[in-house]
Homo-oligomer: A and B are copies of this chain.
């Protein structure tokens, strides 16, 4: 999983019906991992939160197997101890 910061929201009116009800967050990865990704929120996160993101098929383990997503916010990070 990677760490990121929620930097915004994304809205799609016209979409695959299975995506109805999902909240899409724009998440910027920490550590220069690339551009912001759109993640289905499964943890009640919002802009400014530092979050844990699962990508790939694991995102559907959190969101539901029939939901065509490939990234999900699965936790809100309290602390990173290095």
Closest to A12 in B: B75
Known contacts A8-B82, A57-B57, A80-B10: A15-B38 contact under CB 8 Å: no
Q: How many copies does the complex hold?
A: 5
Neighbouring B residues of A76 by C-beta, 8 Å: 12-15
Scoring A residues 3 to 44 as 1 if CB is less than 8 Å from chain B, else 0, what string do you get?
100011111111110110000101001111111111100111
Residue pair B33, A69 in contact (C-beta under 8 Å): no
A contact set with B: CB distance below 8 Å: 1-3, 7-16, 18-19, 24, 26, 29-39, 42-44, 52, 54-62, 65-72, 74-82
Q: List 5 A-B contacts (CB under 8 A).
A: A12-B52, A18-B62, A24-B52, A29-B35, A58-B60
